[in-house]
Structure 1
């Protein structure tokens, strides 16, 4: 059963309340992105944010994906990437599958998902990808818990 909670106001300014943790998260995020293709990084962040229902992170990373050169079709279809053919590369598909498995951790990370990611990334690249997935999941949990929401566009 999925429960949806509507938050009408930001509950906590996390950056102000825990500045040391916030700065450490920013440093972790920067370190996790090192060596990862910027478009791939944003696709992974968007997909994890979709799963975690993090509107703030979705808004931010869709903007960042566009800045990195991603096209609208690939952004719009990301939630249904498994149903597409010829839209995402095999490497992107492996990264998205790993992102889903790590984000839905109670289901575990199946050996075949991990093996497919390992086929497309060297050891250092795979470690960076895992770090990126862990980091966006932490950001999602901070934003959702504290009621962070994107500003309406006018």
Structure 2
């Protein structure tokens, strides 16, 4: 469980302080998304952000999902997708299970069953991009949390 921080002093602007690292991460993120269904991309990013307790990224990706036409009903079900499986396709469920396993890798690792289920729905290239997407959202979550990004202040337009 993530503890709420009472931030009193401004924190580093990662993009300005480490522009090469930031630019490299943007490139990695773009390469990961390439060829993946945009709705699936948002679901993965939402679920990882929920698990990591990243309000900044959760706000950003639920907003992006809405703009892309995602239903409120499905957005509300992401956190409980296992109990609301009929809201999601088998491919989405496999991706969400893999997202949880990779995001929480220190707890139980990534089981053969979870990996095999994802591999059954994605070819090798798609599975690699899905994994890369999960890696990038976990990195973005850690940047946003560590630098105390404020939800609702999406700075992408200023890049």
TM-score range, shorter chain: over 0.9
Residue 110 (1) aligns with residue 111 (2): yes
Residue 80 (1) aligns with residue 86 (2): no
Counterpart position of 2:133: 132
1:151 Cα offset (Å): 3.1
Please list, as runs of the form range in 1=range in 2, the aligned pairs for 1:19-98 lying within 5 A after superposition.
19-98=19-98
What is the alpha-carbon distance in structure 1 between the residues aligned to residue 81 and residue 6 of structure 2?
29
> Which stretches of structure 1, 4 residues or more, deviate above 2 A after TM superposition?
7-10
Residue 146 (1) aligns with residue 147 (2): yes
Counterpart position of 1:8: 7
Q: Spell out, residue by residue over 1:74-115, the C-alpha distance to the aligned partner (whole angstroms, 9 max, x if none).
A: 001110000014200000000000000000011200100000
1:66 Cα offset (Å): 1.1
1:7 Cα offset (Å): 3.8
Aligned-partner SS, 2:7: coil
Alignment length (residue pairs): 151
Aligned-partner SS, 1:79: helix
Where structure 2 has 5 or more consecutive residues not aligned to the other structure, the ranges are 154-159
In the alignment, is the contact (CA less than 8 A) between 1:7 and 1:147 conserved in 2?
Answer: no
Aligned-partner SS, 1:86: helix
